[in-house]
Amino acid sequence: MRLSQAGRRFLLSALAATSASAAVALAGCSSSPPSAQSAPAAVRGFDAAGVSTGTGDQFTQAQWRTIRLNGFKLFLTDPVVYSSECSNGSCNGPVNTCTVNPAAVAQIEDAYHEGIDYAVYTRNVNCLASAIRGLPHTLQAHLSFAVLDIESGPGVPLTMSLVNGVTALGETPVVYSLHQDWPTVMGSSTAFSTLPLQDGQVPDFAAPFPAPYPTRFPVLVAMPHPYGGWSGFDAKIQQQQCCTDLRGPAGTVGGSADQVDLDSVNASWLARLPHHA
């Protein structure tokens, strides 16, 4: 995945009494000006594909414990060897051999043992089913969801067959995309807007490494660039900022090779998912 995005719509509600009887009926309602919908509560998550790309993120079990104590609730990663799903470093084209990396699976297992929820994605959506099937049965049984990553590189379009392939494996499908990539790959399609969205637009793509946590992280904001039928607070996960460490009261985890994307995750949505570590 790429660095993330903020998003989403404001709902206004105005209730006013127009007669004495209406005023009685609406006695419990405020006649003050309507206010914007509040942002859903969020919890901390992070996306690390470093093992499959060969750039780090091979945390120890002790580090996973620190990550949990720092308040992180969700770990997302790509367990497929990058070169087996993308043609080069820029992912200019699909490869489709979809080789699962045991080291990445081991990181998921460590997160599971620490009680951190986890999900998988693949940059090439043709590889997602292989990524799920490549997990041991216990890890599959507790996989929170699986992400269909729709980006201009490699530009593989989303189909209902791919979505059904995820659900057939007993997993919850989630779409990842960005407002500039969805139209490139999917045109104006809104056919998948009923699926949960991970919005990939971050506030500042130019932020240097190591970057600080964004203001008020984790926080969900209204999507500034609606696409695909999603708008307002539709994004259940929003990437916030990329950094080289994971910080909190329990300590700092990570080094120069450990670039991760921070994620703000809709707390109530995550809690309602059937699978938990």
- List the chain domain ranges: 20-272
pLDDT tens profile 170-226: 999 999 999 999 999 999 999 999 999 999 988 777 777 777 888 889 999 999 999
Q: Residue 63: which of 121, 102, 101, 107 has the closest Cα? A: 107
pLDDT tens profile 219-254: 999 999 999 999 999 999 999 888 889 999 999 998
Please state the pTM of the whole predicted model: 0.86
Q: Residue 144: which of 41, 199, 46, 74 has the closest Cα? A: 74
pLDDT at 202: 81
Give the pLDDT band (50/70/90) at residue 33. very low
Instruction: Detail the DSSP E strand segments found in the chain.
Output: 42-47, 72-77, 117-122, 145-149, 173-177, 197-199, 235-243, 246-248, 251-253, 260-266
Whether the predicted pLDDT of 69 surpasses 90: yes
Who's near 66: CB < 8 A, 6+ residues apart? 246, 248, 250, 251, 253
**Regarding predicted confidence, which is higher, 56 or 2?**
56
Which class does domain 20-272 fall in? alpha beta
Who's near 116: CB < 8 A, 6+ residues apart? 64, 67, 68, 72, 73, 74, 75, 277
Cβ–Cβ under 8 Å, residues 105 and 139: yes
Give the pLDDT band (50/70/90) at residue 74. very high
